């Protein structure tokens, strides 16, 4: 801390906000500092590197707008929320394109002048399907890929290409109800709360590092369909929150967890 703040003081960079986290179990120290002035990134990184241990991971981020590709299937709520925020310039990221495995959401993208690519999973093998998607993504080189209710499971090979860069919204309070039909599972179990989880995607299904979670109360009077309907509201809101946190560089990935400097 003394080393870092010494460098910042010397560079006359005023700290606007500072959040830190000591993980004793892992013996790691995490810190996020916002300074008032624009800092020359490479020079500052070098100066910090000189005063920190060799294995320190340093990122000086001038907060440029992130670029994102969004993947969808048929459900509109998360995508529409992203498109609206993007259109009104409050998303904090540029939506480069939308890839859907159904054409359902093509028209809403057209209305916002966002390119929509239909890549059907039907009548092609999984490898081909994912290759088409990879080609599209590579064309755009996004910082992040947002699975906004994309309902196909992606292969380990696909995920491995974009480690720590795929964000998914899962329609349950993980780790409860991993896998398919979580609302049906929740209904059968008779839970009194349902949830949604935004997380980074890794190769273990629904096991990636959690960014944000939220719940809403339900009662015995909710059918599985009612739960799904109610759940969409928090899916939208928890994904929006996770994206804001990620786009503002507030989320640090470490092993299978996140440090979230809200």
Catalytic residues: 206
Among 212, 228, 239, 243, binds a second copy (CB under 8 A): 212
Q: Quick check: 78 binds a second copy (CB under 8 A)?
A: no
Residues from 168 through 197 that contact a second copy (CB under 8 A): 173-177, 189-193, 195
- Quick one: the chain helix, strand, coil %, rounded to 5? 35, 25, 40
Least distance between a second copy and beta carbon 29 (Å): 9
The answer to whether the beta carbons of residues 79 and 102 sit under 8 Å apart is: no
Among 138, 155, 164, 257, binds a second copy (CB under 8 A): 257
CA neighbor of 98 nearest in space, from 41, 137, 64: 137
120 token code pair: 């059907």
Among 108, 136, 161, 184, binds a second copy (CB under 8 A): 108
CB-wise, 133 or 201, nearer to a second copy? 201
Q: DSSP for 106-155, please give it.
A: HHHHHHTT--EEE---TTS-HHHHHHHHHHHHHHH--SEEEESS--SPPP
Which residue reads 């967890």 in tokens? 257
Find the part of the chain contacting a second copy (CB under 8 A) among 40-48, 61-69, 138-146, 215-223.
215-223
Number of chain positions touching a second copy (CB under 8 A): 58
Q: Quick check: 220 binds a second copy (CB under 8 A)?
A: yes
Among 39, 60, 87, 203, binds a second copy (CB under 8 A): 87
Instruction: Kindly tell me the burial class for residue 222, based on how many C-beta atoms sit within 10 Å of its own C-beta (0-12, 13-18, 19 or more).
Output: buried
SS3 13: coil
Which residues bind to a second copy, rule: CB under 8 A? 1-3, 5-6, 8-9, 15-25, 76, 80-81, 84, 87-88, 108, 111-112, 173-177, 189-193, 195, 209-215, 219-221, 223, 233, 237, 240, 256-260, 262
């Amino acid at each position: 801390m003394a080393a870092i703040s010494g460098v910042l003081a010397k560079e006359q960079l005023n700290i606007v906000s500072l959040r830190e986290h000591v993980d004793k179990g892992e013996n790691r120290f995490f810190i996020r500092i916002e300074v008032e002035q624009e800092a020359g990134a490479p020079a500052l990184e070098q100066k910090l590197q000189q005063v920190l241990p060799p294995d320190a991971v340093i990122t000086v981020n001038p907060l440029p707008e992130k670029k994102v590709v969004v993947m969808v299937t048929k459900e509109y709520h998360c995508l529409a929320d992203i498109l609206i925020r993007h259109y009104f310039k409050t998303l904090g990221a540029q939506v480069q394109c939308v890839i859907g495995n159904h054409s359902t959401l093509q028209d809403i993208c057209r209305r916002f002048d966002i390119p929509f690519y239909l890549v059907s999973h039907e009548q092609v093998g999984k490898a081909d399907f994912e290759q088409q998607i990879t080609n599209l993504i590579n064309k755009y080189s996004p910082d992040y890929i947002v699975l906004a209710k994309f309902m196909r499971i992606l292969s380990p090979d696909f995920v491995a290409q974009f480690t720590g860069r795929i964000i998914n919204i899962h329609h349950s309070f993980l780790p409860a109800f991993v896998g398919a039909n979580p609302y049906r599972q929740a209904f059968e179990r008779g839970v009194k709360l349902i949830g949604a989880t935004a997380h980074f995607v890794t190769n273990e299904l629904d096991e990636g590092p959690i960014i944000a979670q939220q719940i809403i109360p339900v009662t015995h009077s909710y059918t599985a369909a009612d739960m799904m309907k109610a759940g969409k509201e928090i899916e939208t809101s928890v994904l929006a929150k996770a994206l804001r946190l990620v786009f503002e560089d507030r989320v640090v990935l470490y092993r299978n967890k996140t440090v979230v400097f809200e």
